[in-house]
């Protein structure tokens, strides 16, 4: 990875956007602010150090705990040292997972081999994890979110702010509902999003990468930047919460299509590139159809094209979809065999997205999403992935 080149590019962009966002800490009217990297020395300290709570402790939850724990330790004026992490309790190798994390400082089930900072405290009690938190990080498979929100509703500190790292959407009462919308409605709090080209194991190994934080109020976006940004995990912030979130969910569907492509002998890199290009177009069309405020720039950030590329080459969705073609096993068996307790998100999202589009009578405008859904359901063959525009 030529990180030097990337950094020179980032500095150039910074010089450009600093002029544009010169007033970013003072507010700048209703016009969206272009994506930018905050200037560390200009970041205002919060009145009191903020207590952080993490909800989720899977593969990504653990990788992010490593970053957040280290940044909390490094910035005592901004954050309380102890960071609690809600862990869905289970036994692993004859011990409780919370005990393993707190004694060995490693999540041996979901992120083996990576040391966690000692200020990360695993807690099997959801309420005790969140009740004193000023900043809440949601990082768990999207199917568990409604139950979690029901449990913590009404039990949080006044003024709590949240960020979602969850790549998924909900289909509730025949309507598309984003995770950020669900959190905002249930908890009545401000919500940001963090999405990017971030395969958890690579982030945890401190390989250089970028990510995007979507914010509504710039002060909150900048505070979360401080919590997540590191030398090897470079965050840019975008004045668009929903755009990154929709990209994060939909790229999982395209990744399933890319995996189908990898599983069919006759298809190679060019074929996969075609699926990715059309997938990106459908992602943008979907996002802007449902949320016209989603900005075109968002698709050129790490959360857009960056994440699409990494996920179609190195992600779990891609891997499982390839295995679906090659082994002919069920999705449940593949998830169990290949992911060892981690959760496959793209198949569920392919179904949810299809139901939303079908319900709104616009499914024919999304031929690739429709074809991926049908292959997931066994109604079309994987070879049909390239015939997305010729099928009913």
Ligand X SMILES: NC(=O)c1ccc[n+]([C@@H]2O[C@H](COP(=O)([O-])OP(=O)(O)OC[C@H]3O[C@@H](n4cnc5c(N)ncnc54)[C@H](O)[C@@H]3O)[C@@H](O)[C@H]2O)c1
Question: Residue 240: which of 312, 203, 293 has the closest Cα?
Answer: 293
Residue 197: name its binding partner from ligand G3P, ligand X, none (Cβ under 5 to 8 Å by kind): ligand G3P
> Locate tokens 């990180």: which residue?
3
Query: 228 to 257, contacts with ligand G3P by CB under 6 A?
Result: 252, 255
- Sketch the per residue contact string, 87 through 106, with ligand X: x for CB under 6 A, - otherwise: -x------------------
Residue 130 or 386: the one with the smaller Cβ distance to ligand X is 130
Residue with tokens 């009913």: 392
Q: How far is CA 94 from CA 56, 109, 256, 285, 338, in A?
A: 21, 12, 35, 49, 22
Q: Which of 251, 272, 284, 374 is catalytic?
A: 251
Residue 124 in contact with ligand X, rule: CB under 6 A: no
How far apart are alpha carbons 71 and 74 in whole angstroms? 5
**Dihedral sign from CA coordinates of 356, 306, 10, 39:** positive
233 assigned to a ligand binding site: no
Q: How many residues bind ligand G3P (CB under 6 A)?
A: 13
Kindly indicate which of the ranges 66-74, 76-84, 124-132, 337-345 contains the residues binding ligand X, using the contact rule CB under 6 A.
337-345
Decide if residue 220 touches ligand X (CB under 6 A): no
Strands 161-164, 83-86: pairing kind: unpaired
Token reading at 46: 């919060």
Residues 152-211 within binding reach of ligand X (CB under 6 A): 165-168, 198-200
- Residue from 37, 98, 239, 310 touching ligand G3P (CB under 6 A): that is 310
- Closer by beta carbon to ligand G3P, 57 or else 252: 252
Q: What does the per-residue mask of binding to ligand G3P show for 158-177, with x meaning CB under 6 A?
A: ---------x----------
Which 3 state secondary structure label does DSSP give 99? helix
For this structure, is 66 an active site residue?
no
Choosing among ligand X, ligand G3P, none, which partner's interface includes residue 272 (Cβ < 5 to 8 Å by kind)? none
113 annotated binding-site participant: no
* 332 C-beta neighbours (distance < 10 Å), count: 10
Provide the minimum distance between the beta carbon of 192 and ligand G3P in the complex, in angstroms, as a whole number: 17
- 3-state SS assignment for residue 343: coil
Q: Looking only at residues 70 through 89 of this chain, which bind ligand X when binding is defined by CB under 6 A? A: 88
Q: Can you list the alpha helix ranges (DSSP code H) found in 75-187?
A: 97-104, 126-130, 145-152, 179-187
- Environment class of residue 266 by beta-carbon count within 10 Å: exposed (0-12), middle (13-18) or buried (19+)? exposed
Nearest Cα neighbor of 140 from 87, 68, 83, 199 is: 87
Positions in 338-357 near ligand G3P (CB under 6 A): 345
Kindly list the distances between the CA atom of residue 8 and the CA atoms of 3, 13, 15, in Å, as whole numbers in the listed order: 9, 9, 11
State the binding string over 17-56 for ligand X (x if CB under 6 A, else -).
Answer: ---------------------------------------x
Cα–Cα distance between 33 and 214 in angstroms, integer? Answer: 11
343 binds, among ligand X, ligand G3P, none (CB under 5 to 8 A by kind): ligand X
Does the annotation flag 56 for ligand binding?
A: yes
> Of the candidates 210, 262, 301, 307, which one interacts with ligand G3P according to CB under 6 A?
307
The reply to whether 140 sits near ligand X by the rule CB under 6 A is yes
Residue 255 binding: pick among ligand G3P, ligand X, none (C-beta 5-8 Å cut-off by kind): ligand G3P
Contacts of 385 (CB under 8 A, 6+ apart): 257, 260, 261, 264, 267, 275, 371, 372, 375
Draw the binding track, 284-303, toward ligand G3P (x: CB under 6 A; -: no contact): --------------------
- The 10 Å Cβ neighbour count of residue 305 is 17
Question: Which member of 36, 78, 79, 110 binds ligand X (CB under 6 A)?
Answer: 110
Size of the site for ligand X (CB under 6 A): 23
- How many CA atoms lie less than 13 Å away from 145 in the CB half-sphere? 27
Determine whether the annotation assigns residue 317 to a binding site: yes
Contacts of 92 (CB under 8 A, 6+ apart): 100, 108, 109
Binding residues: 56-61, 144, 167, 200, 316-317, 343, 345
- Site residues (vs ligand X, CB under 6 A): 56-61, 88, 110, 139-142, 144, 165-168, 198-200, 342-343, 345
Catalytic residue ranges: 251
Contacting residues toward ligand G3P, per CB under 6 A: 167, 197-199, 252, 255, 307, 310-311, 315-317, 345
């Amino acid at each position: 990875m030529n990180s030097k080149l990337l950094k020179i590019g980032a500095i150039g962009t910074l010089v450009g956007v600093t002029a544009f966002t010169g007033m970013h800490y003072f507010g700048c009217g209703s016009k969206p602010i272009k994506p930018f990297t905050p200037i560390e020395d200009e970041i205002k300290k919060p009145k009191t150090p903020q207590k952080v709570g993490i909800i989720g402790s899977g593969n990504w939850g653990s990788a992010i705990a490593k970053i957040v724990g280290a940044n909390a330790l490094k910035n005592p004026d901004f954050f309380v040292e102890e960071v609690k992490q809600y862990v869905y309790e289970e036994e692993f190798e004859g011990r409780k997972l919370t005990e393993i994390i707190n004694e060995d400082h490693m999540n041996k089930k979901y992120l083996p081999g990576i040391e966690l900072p000692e200020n990360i405290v695993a807690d099997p009690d959801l309420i005790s994890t969140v009740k004193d938190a000023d900043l809440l990080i949601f990082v768990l498979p999207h199917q568990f979110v409604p139950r979690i929100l029901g449990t913590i509703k009404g039990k949080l500190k006044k003024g709590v702010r949240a960020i979602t790292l969850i790549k998924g959407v909900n289909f509730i009462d025949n309507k598309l509902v984003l995770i950020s919308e669900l959190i905002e409605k249930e908890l009545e709090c401000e919500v940001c999003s963090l999405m990017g080209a971030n395969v958890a194991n690579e982030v945890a190994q401190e390989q250089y990468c970028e990510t995007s934080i979507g914010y509504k109020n710039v002060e909150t976006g900048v505070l979360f930047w401080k919590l997540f940004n590191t030398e090897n995990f470079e965050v840019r912030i975008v004045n668009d919460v929903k755009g990154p979130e929709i990209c994060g969910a939909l790229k999982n569907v395209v990744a399933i299509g890319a995996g189908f492509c990898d599983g069919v002998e006759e298809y190679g890199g060019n074929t996969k590139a075609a699926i990715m290009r059309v997938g990106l177009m459908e992602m943008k069309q979907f996002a802007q159809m449902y949320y016209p405020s989603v900005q075109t720039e968002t698709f050129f950030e790490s959360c857009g094209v960056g994440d699409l590329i990494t996920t179609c080459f190195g992600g779990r969705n891609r891997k499982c979809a390839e295995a679906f073609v090659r082994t002919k096993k069920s999705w449940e068996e593949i998830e169990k065999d290949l992911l060892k307790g981690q959760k496959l998100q793209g198949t569920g999202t392919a179904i949810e997205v299809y139901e939303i589009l079908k319900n709104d009578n616009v499914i024919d405008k999304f031929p690739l999403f429709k074809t991926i859904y049908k292959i997931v359901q066994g109604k079309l063959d994987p070879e049909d992935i390239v015939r997305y525009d010729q099928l009913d």
